[in-house]
A and B are shown apart, each in its own frame.
Chain A
Amino acid sequence: MHRTKPLDHLILILGCLFMGLPVVVAFMTSTHTAADIHMNGLSLAPGGHGVETYTEVLTRQGGFTGQVTGARMAMNSLILGLGFAVGKIALSMLAAYALVYFRFRFATAMFWVIFTTLLLPLEVRIMPSYQVMSSLGLLNSYTGLIVPLLASATGTFYFRQFFKSVPDELLEAARIDGAGPFKFFIDILLPLSKTMMAAIFIIMFVYGWNQYLWPMLMTTEERFFTLMRGIKQILQVWIGSQIPDYNEAFALAVLAMLPPVLVVVVFQRWFIKGLTESDK
């Protein structure tokens, strides 16, 4: 069984090239000047202008109001990613705890109320969501950016599955020892959930960081722009210019993908576990 299989490796190498080359090319090209790219096309070799381009993209006051820099957009993306991940974990752990560990009236009904949200993606109700946000006065705010995205039960669902797999004996033993709901949650359930929390954190961070449609609708003020929003912006500016800023567009793309890619690659094991366990 342990023969070397050249054909298998060939297919895998081709697959990796297909998946990986565009990313490498994006990075390499971003280190050339715009004129150079315009003349010679995309590049697989590094150019000498990486530092300039990235400094420019990160620090130049761009946009129509001159309020927003790449660094600012990166910070907003980070706020969105972290805020979303933390909010999701807090909200869904509490809800799942109530659903799994408590006997109360309407528990099944509440389960349905929460889990129906898994059925309808945000994309199918963008217009009314926007109207609700605007009547609440939440446009152009971090609250408006983050909180509505929490209205999906995925996290609650993951934690519910996980809590159900925790042995019943733990609760029995804890109750015999006189532990109440708070003590049980903090001293027993929380430490047990660490790996699960890490996995969900990674998934949700990537999800929040990568949000596109929602930030696009919610933010018209440039100081709230995320990197994803910036990508739309740079393409709009582009139309009609003589030599488009290819290098800056690529640099922005690299900045936008670097953090989530790093997180996924570095925490691969947790990430895969979190993702595939949800299927069980």
Chain B
Amino acid sequence: MTEIPHPPARPWRAWLRGVTAAEPAKRVQFDAPLLPWLFLLPQLAVVAVFFYWPSVQAVTSSFYLEDPFGFGATFVGMENYTDALGNAQYRSIAGFTVVFTALVTAFSLGLGLLLAVKADAVIRGNAAYKTLLIAVYAIAPPVAGLIGMMFFDQHIGPFVTLAGWFGWDMKVGLNYTDTAFAMILVSVWKQVPYNFIFFLSGLQAVPVSVREAAVIDCRNGWRRFRTVTLPLLAPTAFFLLIINITYALFDTFGIIDVMVKDKPANNPMTLVYKVYLDGFRGNDVGGSSAQSVILMIVVFALTIAQFRFLERRIHYS
């Protein structure tokens, strides 16, 4: 949910391409000094008030210690940052966030790719499979979290019963590992359709002539997939990698909130959830803002990584 929650797609790639393009968008343009400002005004106003103002405030209040009862703030320099980064709990949450992000990204990309390749290969039932696989895209993270909770419920959850058959006494909400497992499964479930859509449209963009040539040259399906299909999908996969990382970092908030229910106790959570807990439950404005800024830096780093990759690709092609 980035706009964040962003709309569904964070079109970084095209954004970067657009930003780096120096030439005007059109050969012919209107020459009117005031009119464009009139058209831009609503968007600029919203962006200034609801994006720049809070962003600047996040940075400034990260250097202050705010009195929880509203009696002013004291400048504390980098203390909020050193407090956060030096805190063992923060570091363990960061560790979990990394593992969570890696697993959610790997599994949802893998499943999305597998299903897209298969849906591309079959002719009969293609439309039905597609519709079914896409539908879950529209389900909001908290709803996914709620359904997940039911499946992992102590009394009625089929997964708990199933795990019991294998001697696994699953206690989602109480046991750290079990809750983490449930969170990851639900987050993957929610994200597979998105990856499926992009991989499928990437596959269908491969010209028929290329596919036929590949079939003639290479009888072995798995080798053909590795040497022809996968390289052709690489740009889509990289785009999706960034999207999936940002999804796991930010958009899973609803899933985690529903599963943790404001009771962090012994439950795993991600860094974004910690920002929320410290800011709104703990009333620690400075600490929460410092954590926000740390996350902003992570997001910037991700963008730069993608930018570097893009440059290289343009260079070689």
Contacts and interface: CB of A to CB of B under 8 A. Distances in A.
Q: Are A and B genuine complex partners?
A: yes
Given A119-B300, A121-B2, A127 B280 contact: yes
B20 to A, nearest CB: 11
Contacts of A207: 1, 3, 5-8
A232 B145 CA distance: 10
A216 B131 CA distance: 31
Contacts of A260: 138-140
Contacts of B124: 4, 9
Contacts of B8: 203, 206-207, 275
Contacts of A100: 25-26
Nearest to A202: B138
Given A94-B43, A156-B43, A213 B254 contact: yes
Interface in B186-216: 189, 192-193, 197-198, 201, 215
A265 interface: yes
A126 B276 contact: yes
Interface string B34-47: 01110110111011
A275 B253 CA distance: 22
A49 interface: no
> Which of A210, A217, A239, A272 is most buried by chain B, counting CB atoms within 10 A of its CB?
A210
B42 A152 contact: no
Given A119-B300, A127-B275, A154-B9, A19 B132 contact: yes
Interface stretch (A67-75, A167-175, A190-198): A167-175
A9 B197 contact: no
Contacts of B10: 118, 154
Contacts of A19: 132-133, 135-136, 189, 192-193
> Which of B19, B140, B141, B257 is most buried by chain A, counting CB atoms within 10 A of its CB?
B140
> Which of B57, B147, B292 is most buried by chain A, counting CB atoms within 10 A of its CB?
B147
Contacts of B40: 94-95, 98-99, 110, 114
Nearest to A100: B25
Interface in A95-151: 95, 97-105, 107, 110-115, 117-132, 136, 147-151
A113 B50 CA distance: 13
B244 interface: no
B133 A125 contact: no
A192 to B, nearest CB: 14
Interface stretch (B88-96, B150-158, B222-230): B150-158
B43 A152 contact: no
Contacts of A253: 143, 146-147
B61 interface: yes
Contacts of B201: 272, 276
Contacts of A246: 150, 156
**Chain A binding surface SS class:** helix
A148 B14 contact: no
Nearest to A172: B28
Contact of A128 (B149, B289, B300): B289
A260 B262 CA distance: 27
Given A42-B156, A154-B11, A276-B197, A121 B250 contact: yes
B141 A5 contact: no
B253 A213 contact: yes
A161 interface: yes
> Which of B1, B143, B150 is most buried by chain A, counting CB atoms within 10 A of its CB?
B143
Interface residues of A, number: 117
B26 A213 contact: no
Contacts of B30: 101-103, 181
B118 A8 contact: yes
A231 interface: yes
Contact of A15 (B14, B24, B133): B133
A110 B44 contact: yes
Nearest to B127: A268
A157 interface: yes
A157 B140 contact: no
Contacts of B299: 119-121, 124
B11 A210 contact: no
B5 A235 contact: no
Contacts of B9: 154, 203, 275, 278-279
Interface string B292-317: 10011001100100000000000000
Contacts of B151: 22, 25, 42
B1 A210 contact: yes
Instruction: List 9 tightest A-B contacts by C-beta distance, closest first.
Output: A121-B4, A152-B3, A121-B2, A210-B140, A260-B138, A127-B279, A98-B39, A151-B50, A98-B36
11 contacts: A15-B111, A19-B136, A23-B139, A115-B19, A154-B6, A203-B9, A212-B254, A235-B149, A236-B262, A264-B134, A279-B11
